[in-house]
Amino acid sequence: MASDITTEHLILWLTAFARNVAAGRDGLNELDAATGDADHGTNLYRGTQAFSNMIAQSADHGTPGAFLKAVGLVIVGSVGGSSGALYGTIFLRMAATVGPQVAAIDGTVMANALRAAVQGILDRGRARAGDKTMFDALDPAARAFDGAIASGQGVAAAWQAARIAAEVGAAATAAMRARRGKSSYVGDKSIGIADPGAASVALLIASAAEVMAHI
Amino acid sequence: MKRFMNEPQDVVRDYLNGLVAAHPDVLRLDTDHRVLRRANAAARPKVALIAGGGSGCEPLHTGFVGPGMLDAACPGAIFTSPVPAQIIAATRAVDTGAGLIHIVKNFTGEVMNFGMAQEIMAFDGISVETVLINDDVAIKDDDDSAGRRGLGATVLVEKIAGAAAERGDDLAAVAAIARKVAARARTFSVGLTSCTPPERGRPVYVMAEDEMDLGIGISGSPGRDRVKLAPAHEIAAMLLTEVLADLRPAPGSRLLVMLSGLGGTPDAELYLLYGEVAAGLRAAGLRPERVLVGNLVTSLEQQGAALTLLELDDAMLALWDAPVRTAALRWGM
């Protein structure tokens, strides 16, 4: 089907994400400086550089599932910290949901993959809604994507809905008090500034919406 | 920022090269996996202790690898936990079949990456005991935070459990003494400045000249409370009050006292502060049986100090006094 997501689309997605992380690196570091150690952008950039190198080194990245798994492993192997474990888990769970065989991902499978990614960060990080984590951007994005597909919309429209939900979710973390991760150590001082993990997840989803706008 | 460095992103790799160059009798570096291990493999099977965490906290953990203490360490990027592949390589490198222990400080990233490493090793039938360190009394241990951080108690666990492993204790015994030390040690920290991660090039945050941060951790992050700077005797009293209120040692207890600088506080200042701590301990009827003062668990060049108290028993005391030969701690051998 014309509206299915191929490995080519995923490569465009990750390439756009790498570009957006490079441009947003300092901004993510500043969000992190308010409550943590000011390195979320730097750490994520190390991961996007690593998977960009992987993308450049081969002309054939196999099925979408194989590619998502390779990206997950590269992130787990290069980023470190909680963001490495969580971002790696997002991609590994999406890969597991898609499976190694299928040649293209339809909207329903992509929706399931995003829901599995959300479950992955829950399993790894024990976050709940409102804890001021990347969950607060990824969960609404996955729900919006799922809702759009369930109501008969295409993949492009589903990504747009997910992008808006992720950006609204990330912005809403500013008002939250952190209860997970390093920012939970500073108590009420975490209130007023968005969570850097939620902000970078919004970039991830926006990158997908950007490159799959006409799929 | 002025630093002895080549490229900011290479500081960890480059410092490790210098560390092994300085201590070839004790240390070997696996450059590919960024794993630091003992120069000489164990002559007979022994329980292996592996630790790791963000770099920038030296001598933790790399300075504590060697006979009588750690078998291997896996240093991550600055203030960023190591990755699973590194942890797996470190663990496999020192596995003699007698048992494996991961000493994990309770930081979200460290717990997740050690957890992922253990899940992956389980596929190969390798099982690892985890000893979680969470001695920081600045954090309330409830579900509204990531839980207490692992700070100074890490050094005491590595030394005491390391000595138990060295003398041939089995896995259960080494894990038990490690957990006992972790359970009876508490830490509270005060920061006078922030610090400058090399890739950032400027301080994580800026504090006024007349302020200090109470309840900080080890990554240059802000603390629990920002208050007015106070004389050393008042700061010592704050540190003692926080630690003792949580540790609640028995009257007349023997204590191991560790006063660690955060990297930017000179020894003379640390001893000045220790003098006030010692006076406070005596006034409270407690006995500082062993004392370790110096920059041991740090945040780059941050000015500040962390007080760790461990309520000792005879077994811990004997193991603390046992020989150790590492880059940063060395006695009896």
pLDDT exceeds 90 at position B51: yes
The B211-214 sheet, strands edge to edge = B225-228, B211-214, B185-191, B304-311, B254-261, B287-294
Q: What angle do CA B18, B12, B306 make, to 5 degrees?
A: 95
Contacts of A86 in chain B (CB under 8 A): 112
Q: What pLDDT, on the 0 to 100 scale, is given for residue A2?
A: 55
pLDDT digits (tens, 9 = 90+) for B166-199: 999 999 999 999 999 999 999 999 999 999 999 9
d(CA A74, CA B291): 44
Last residue of a domain, one of B117, B149, B183: B183
Residue A2 lies in a domain: no
- How many distinct structural domains can be found in chain B? 2
Q: Please give the residue of chain B at the shortest CA–CA distance from A180.
A: B146
pLDDT interval class at B333 (50, 70, 90): confident
Same domain, B276 and B204: yes
**A114: pLDDT strictly greater than 90:** yes
Chain B partners of A180 at a C-beta cutoff of 8 Å? 108, 145-146
Residue A159: give the domain boundaries.
7-211
Q: How far is A114 from chain B (nearest CA, A)?
A: 21
Residues of B in contact with A38 (CB under 8 A): 197, 200, 204-205, 220
Percent of chain A with pLDDT over 90: 87
B87-113 tens-digit pLDDT: 999 999 999 999 999 999 999 999 999
* Contact criterion met (CB < 8 Å) for B145 and A184: yes
The CATH code of the domain that includes A50 is 1.25.40.340
pLDDT band at A34 (very low <50, low <70, confident <90, very high): confident
Interchain contact B145–A (C-beta under 8 A): yes
pLDDT (mean) for A111-128 = 94
CB contact under 8 A, A80 and B223: no
| Residues B50, B159 within the same domain | yes
Do strands B330-331 and B324-325 pair parallel, antiparallel, or not at all (unpaired)? antiparallel
The single-letter code of the amino acid at B112 is: M
CB contact under 8 A, A82 and B109: yes
Q: Are A36 and A196 in contact (CB under 8 A)?
A: yes
pLDDT for residue A1 is more than 80: no
ipTM over 0.85: no
Q: A80 and B77 in contact by Cβ < 8 A?
A: yes
Q: How far is B215 from chain A (nearest CA, A)?
A: 9
Q: Same domain, yes or no, for B178 and B194?
A: no
Band of pLDDT at residue B86, cut at 50, 70 and 90: very high
Domain shared by B214 and B301, yes or no: yes
Out of B113, B221, B224, the one facing A37 most closely (by C-beta) is B221
| Predicted pLDDT at B280 | 97
B198 close to A (CB below 8 A): no
Give the range of the structural domain holding residue B104, as residue numbers without chain letter: 11-183
Residue A36 pLDDT level (bands cut at 50, 70, 90):
confident
- Cβ atoms of A179 and A131 within 8 Å: the answer is yes
| The pLDDT of residue A126 | 86
Q: Single out the residue in B183, B213, B248 at which a domain terminates.
A: B183
pLDDT at B221: 80
Q: Is residue B33 situated within a structural domain? A: yes
Look at chain A and report how many structural domains it folds into. Answer: 1
* Residue that wins the pLDDT comparison between B330 and A3: B330
The verdict on B122 and B219 lying in the same domain is no
Give domain status of residue A32, yes or no: yes
Our CA-based measurement puts residue B302 at a distance from the nearest CA of chain A, in whole angstroms, of: 13
Residues B111-148 pLDDT 10s: 999 999 998 898 889 999 999 999 999 998 777 888 99
| Two tokens, residue B320 | 């603390």
Cβ contact (<8 Å) for A36 and B205?
A: no
Verify whether the Cβ–Cβ distance A82 to B81 is below 8 Å.
Answer: yes
Q: Does B47 reside within a domain?
A: yes
Tell me: pLDDT of B323 over 90.
yes
B107 at A interface, C-beta within 8 A: yes
- Using CB atoms, pick whichever of A81, A124, A185 lies closest to residue B81: A81
Q: Does some domain include residue A42? A: yes
